[in-house]
Amino acid sequence: MYLKTILSFIFLFAVLSCNRARFNSFRGEALSVDAATLKEGKKAAEKHCSACHLVPQPESMTQVSAHFMLAYMGLFLGVDASRQLDPLEKEQFRNRYELLKRQNKIPVNAMVLPNEWHSLKAWYLASARHPFESSEEAHEASLTEIGIADRGVTLLARLSHGGFAVGGGMSGTLFFLDANLRTIKSIPLDSPPVHLVETPDAYYVLTLGSLLGSLDADARSSIYKVSRQGYQYHKILWDLPRAAHFLIANLNNDNTPDFVVALFGNVVGGGVLACTSQRAKYACNTISERESVVRLAEIKSEKPGEFSFLALAGGAREGLFRIDYKAGVSRKKSLVDYPPHLGSVWLEVVDIDKDGTDEILVLSGDNADQGPYNEVKNDQGLRIYRFANGTLTQKGFESLPGALSLVLLPARDGVSIAVSRFYTDPVRKQDLTLLTHTKGLNFSRKHFTLSVRPTVLATNNQGQLLVGSGNIPIISYNKEGTPLVREFSGPALGLLKIQTP
Ligand code: HEC
């Protein structure tokens, strides 16, 4: 009797933990939720979805996200799963369909058998999770408008003279502001500026090619050189595949800046380029084919003459990898892989606790590829690593769903961090989070609700935060399954009236 009870508990536990159905229908249609179907579905996902990225667990998404995702991913597998999409989803789906078709990414014949797809869909939709809602409150904070001639900000960089460079995302303009936040120069570029590096004589600026890569597969990026005296500017690199970030390096020892460029691609595509100066020109070579590279960070090299850096990939096969480059030869090492829904966006190498050893910060939260309904994903946020003897060890995690960028706020005993959360919680409205350094790798957290959807951040010399934004409405489902639309009307660029740590 006793043994029987234990055995039935073990059996029950096995059933519950393996193939438990949380839902047995979606949008009014019944799902096959028997254990055999769910088991088949899991197997089919492991077989078909692992070709391009880690296989996401159904528990990492809601039914609405899982359903749109399956329609979208079905395209890559030659399966039309768009039947139950609502009008808003259909519109985004069609847009992705057209882009992938132009890029020849849609196989003519289905790569998955109909019954395999049926089980796979059942596994995702039956085991999806309920919408997540944070229990942490946010405080209202207001912004003082800083006038710029644009409605969206894609770049915000503090310059050594105390002023700022601001990227106007709608018009593709680079604005230079003085320390009093007045525009002193506007430079028209070929597309939105997204990254700027300052050297003693110039600013080097990268353009994104197009704001919405999914609508424009032919977008090309450029790097401009702008002189610090007089702001004369010209393109030094152009016709690059759509790029998101770069590092300046001295790759061929000629003391002319060379560039390592992170290619982001348009849904597919990407890589890392090494562009070395050759008299007045640059020659670019692909040193990694890894898709959707969003950011790079230089690290100390172990060998003389070698340029070492970390690269963060977003998109599908998300993860962090290392490249050591010397004289045209590069060694690559994968450090960590992430599931595709994290939306990796930002990378920093900085000594958070001022103990003499750098930490690696990886931020995720970009939901751009997940469909028209924004979802709060609790496993997005800031991952803190240490890197020693070639291995990466995670030392901390701050959950920050919907994070898009961060700015470091160095203080005497450590580094605090402000995080913009473009894809945030529709109910709690945690648009900006301050992580105030306490001790070791620990922070206290405080959230703020803004009148804008923040994209990028910077600090001024009084420790105040400048907030750049892109005010498109956000549509989400709340815990009860009711759609919520949140509109934003605040300034494209504003100064936040809170004191940072
Ligand atoms: C041929 C390659 C390929 C296959 C096969 C594939 N995917 Fe993807 N997946 C991608 C790409 C590319 C993206 C990034 C899309 C973007 O950035 O718009 C992605 C993104 C995702 C995302 C993230 C979307 C979000 O919500 O942010 C999920 C989840 C996902 N895939 C699940 C799956 C599942 C489940 C399967 C199997 C049914 C699958 N994928 C099969 C290429 C693939």
Q: Which of 257, 307, 263 is nearest to 278 (CA)?
A: 257
Last residue of a domain, one of 99, 127, 155: 127
Distances (CA, A) of 135 to 132, 399, 427, 482: 10, 12, 10, 19
393 to 317, 336, 340, 390: CA distances (angstroms): 20, 10, 21, 10
Q: How far is the CA of 489 from the centre of ligand 1 (A)?
A: 33
Taking a C-beta distance cutoff of 8 angstroms, is the pair 366, 314 a contact? Answer: yes
In 10 A of CB 306, how many CB atoms? 14
Judge whether 11 lies within some domain.
no
- pLDDT for 215: 58
- Residues of the chain under the 70 pLDDT cut: 1-19, 212-217, 500-501
Q: Would you say residue 9 lies in a domain?
A: no
Query: What integer pLDDT is reported at residue 11 of this predicted model?
Result: 44
Among 86, 104, 127, give the residue marking a domain's end: 127
Tokens of 446: 């405080």
Cβ(375)–Cβ(476) below 8 Å = yes
CA 144/CA 124 separation, integer angstroms: 45
Cα–Cα distance for residue pair 240/54, rounded to 1 Å: 29
pLDDT, residue 10, reads 47
pLDDT, position 330: 95
The answer to whether 395 and 386 are in contact (CB under 8 A) is: yes
Instruction: Please check whether residue 201 is in contact with residue 212, taking contact to mean a CB–CB distance below 8 angstroms.
Output: no
**Residue whose CA is at the smallest distance from ligand 1 atom 39:** 49
CA distance 198 to 166: 13
Ligand 1 pocket mutation pick from 40, 46, 52 by most atoms within 8 angstroms of CB? 52
295: closest CA among 347, 350, 255? 347
Averaged pLDDT of the chain: 93
Q: pLDDT at position 483, please?
A: 87
Do 186 and 99 have their domain in common? no
Q: How far is CA 184 from CA 165, 174, 231, 270, 454, in A?
A: 10, 11, 10, 35, 24
Do 344 and 479 reside in the same domain of the chain? Answer: yes
Query: Which of 81, 101, 127 delimits the end of a domain?
Result: 127
Per-residue pLDDT tens digits for 315-358:
999 999 999 999 999 999 999 999 999 999 999 999 999 999 99
Residues 111, 244: one domain?
no
Same domain, 152 and 267: yes
Q: What is the pLDDT of residues 156-182, one digit of tens each?
A: 999 999 999 999 999 999 999 999 999
Kindly give the distance from the C-alpha atom of residue 52 to the centroid of ligand 1, in angstroms, as a whole number: 7
Pocket of ligand 1 (CB under 6 A): 45, 48-49, 51-53, 56, 65, 69, 73, 76-77, 120, 267-268, 315-316, 340-341, 343, 367, 369-370
pLDDT for position 416: 96
Q: How far is the CA of 370 from the centre of ligand 1 (A)?
A: 9
Pocket probe mutation, ligand 1, options 48, 67, 76, max atoms within 8 Å of Cβ: 76
Give the model's pLDDT for residue 217. Answer: 61
- C-beta separation of 35 from 41 below 8 A: no
Whether residues 174 and 108 fall in one domain = no
Residue 219 tokens read as 């977008």
Domain of residue 36 covers 16-127
CA of 26 to the centre of ligand 1 (A): 21
Report CA-CA distances (Å) from 155 to 54, 70, 228, 369.
31, 33, 18, 21
- The structure tokens listed for 356 are 């003499």
